[in-house]
């Protein structure tokens, strides 16, 4: 997810949690809505879409219906890999078939967990610039299931409609519901309560001070001040200037009393940037409060060096 160029808020619980934490995520954007917008485009050239996955025959049906009814998208191919392993679905002949289609947009439907694992395993082999796991979209395009009425979408009950049409989904949604409840209890609610009790601390308006020192292919950055909201603009400007010069980044937070979700998000992006360049992000001298904030934001991987 964090390696994606675009991550949309596909799910009303994301919006509700964002409101609880006063985060600027104000509207749900479903993958199906994004697909429909692209399909309705009046651009002079079509984006070519490849359907990968779905139940037997669904990808082919979606391909046919897309070319019958589509406007902004044109289907250039399909492949139904069945229920094999990631390795079996990543065979050279399969990747070659997808690349030969010259698709601009690969729509993957393998089940969320397997689908994202397949994308991660093959992203460097695929030539298409856009790859997205939009599982239900293939079914919507094929016409074998329909989207929930708009009012169910707006109140966060689209999942009930999906179970009504595909009863087997109750297992996945049940697991997702339990995971969400666990996250609410262990992460979201504690963080929301903490932010309520520390509003003054988080409303810091003073910009931080940053100093950097290069050591070979590494750069050490010392930060002084609270890294909240817009206070860390100097750090963003520095990173924009040096982002192509170093592999490893060390952030020294010894003089940072508090951070917030925005700073955690910046660290996530920096971590992925470093990984993509063969390096890593190292966070040093972090206090216990900031460790908790990173944990509440489900970003513990940032502290694993």
3-state helix/strand/coil string of 148-172: CCHHHHHCCCHHHHHHHHCCCHHHH
This prediction has a pTM of: 0.82
Quote the tokens at residue 9.
């808020």
pLDDT at residue 173 in the model:
87
CA distance 176 to 174: 5
Instruction: Name which of 110, 99, 108 is nearest 132 in CA terms.
Output: 108
pLDDT at residue 135 in the model:
76
pLDDT at residue 298 in the model:
93
pLDDT at residue 219 in the model:
94
- Is the Cβ–Cβ distance between 131 and 123 less than 8 Å? yes
Determine if residue 225 is left, alpha or beta; phi over 0 gives left, psi from -120 to 50 gives alpha, anything else beta: left
3 state SS of 116: helix
Determine if residue 68 is left, alpha or beta; phi over 0 gives left, psi from -120 to 50 gives alpha, anything else beta: alpha
3 state SS of 3: coil
pLDDT at residue 172 in the model:
85
The owner of tokens 């984006």 is 47
- Is the Cβ–Cβ distance between 37 and 13 less than 8 Å? no
The phi, psi pair for 53, rounded to 5°, reads: 115, -160
Q: What residues of the chain score a pLDDT lower than 50?
A: none
């Amino acid at each position: 997810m964090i390696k994606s160029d675009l991550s949309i808020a596909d799910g009303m619980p994301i919006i509700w949690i964002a409101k609880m934490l006063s985060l600027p995520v104000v509207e749900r954007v479903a993958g199906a809505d994004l697909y429909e917008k692209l399909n309705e485009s009046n651009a002079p050239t079509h984006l070519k879409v490849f359907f990968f996955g779905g139940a037997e025959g669904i990808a082919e049906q979606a391909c046919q219906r897309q070319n019958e009814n589509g406007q902004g998208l044109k289907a250039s191919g399909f492949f139904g890999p069945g229920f094999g392993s990631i390795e079996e679905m990543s065979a050279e002949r399969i990747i070659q078939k997808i690349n030969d289609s010259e698709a601009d947009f690969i729509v993957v439907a393998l089940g969320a967990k397997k689908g994202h694992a397949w994308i991660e395993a093959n992203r460097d082999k695929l030539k298409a610039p856009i790859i997205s796991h939009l599982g239900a979209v293939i079914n919507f395009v094929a016409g074998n299931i329909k989207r929930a009425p708009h009012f169910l979408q707006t109140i966060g009950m689209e999942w009930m409609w999906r179970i009504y049409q595909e009863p087997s989904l109750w297992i996945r949604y049940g697991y997702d519901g339990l995971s969400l409840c666990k996250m609410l209890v262990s992460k979201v609610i504690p963080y929301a309560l903490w932010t309520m009790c520390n509003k003054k601390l988080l409303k810091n308006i003073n910009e931080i001070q940053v100093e950097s020192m290069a050591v070979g292919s590494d750069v050490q950055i010392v930060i002084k001040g609270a890294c909240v909201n817009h206070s860390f603009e100097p750090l963003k400007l520095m990173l924009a200037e040096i982002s192509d010069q170093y592999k490893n980044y060390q952030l020294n937070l010894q003089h940072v009393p508090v951070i917030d979700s925005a700073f955690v998000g910046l660290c996530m992006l920096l971590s992925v940037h470093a990984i993509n360049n063969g390096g890593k992000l190292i966070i040093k001298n972090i206090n216990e409060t900031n460790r908790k904030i990173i944990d509440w934001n489900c970003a513990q991987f940032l502290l694993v060096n």
